[in-house]
Amino acid sequence: MSHNAPVLPTEESNPTTEGQVLPAPLQQALDEARQAARDAGLAYAGGLPPPLAWQLVSAGALTLVDVRSPEEYRFVGHVPDSLQVPWASGTGLTRNPRFVRELEAKLGGRKDRPVLLLCRSGRRSALAAEAAAKAGFTKVYNVLEGFEGDLDAQGQRGHGNGWRFHHLPWQQD
């Protein structure tokens, strides 16, 4: 399955926990991510590449939460309509001790709400996803590659992968 191709509803659709009907290819992608996470021994539901993450957010299957610092969110850019709960903040990226409580509040107190976490490269959001899963969130996923992607040979981001590299929606304040 190409993650860049548009996904259209099929006759074989599956309901999400929100009561919506999720097209079968998207449900299959979630199932595959969960299986890969189990195989890797991850505490959270799994990782999704940015194009697939956007398809799932657009379909209303997952809520996107940006876990970068408020400064990164505002000045580097963010996905429109994403929620923001910093995993860490400040120049030293000090861990936010209220992260789990703030995430739960942003999600309306629902630890069973399907959620997708995004950071700069996918590393902080993986740590945040693990913490959320250990705190009882049952459907938390990580956006692989993050918003800016990995560093390239020149020490720059955004040239080989990441949300912006894939030309997915984003904006700056």
- pLDDT tens-digit map of 67-109: 999 999 999 999 999 999 999 987 788 899 999 999 999 999 9
* Superfamily of chain region 30-143: Rhodanese-like domain (3.40.250.10)
pTM: 0.86
Residues 6+ apart with CB under 8 A from 40: none
- Tokens 């959620």 correspond to 115
Q: Could you state, in order of their start, the residue ranges of all structural domains in the chain?
A: 30-143
pLDDT tens column, 20-60:
678 899 999 999 999 999 999 999 999 999 999 999 999 99
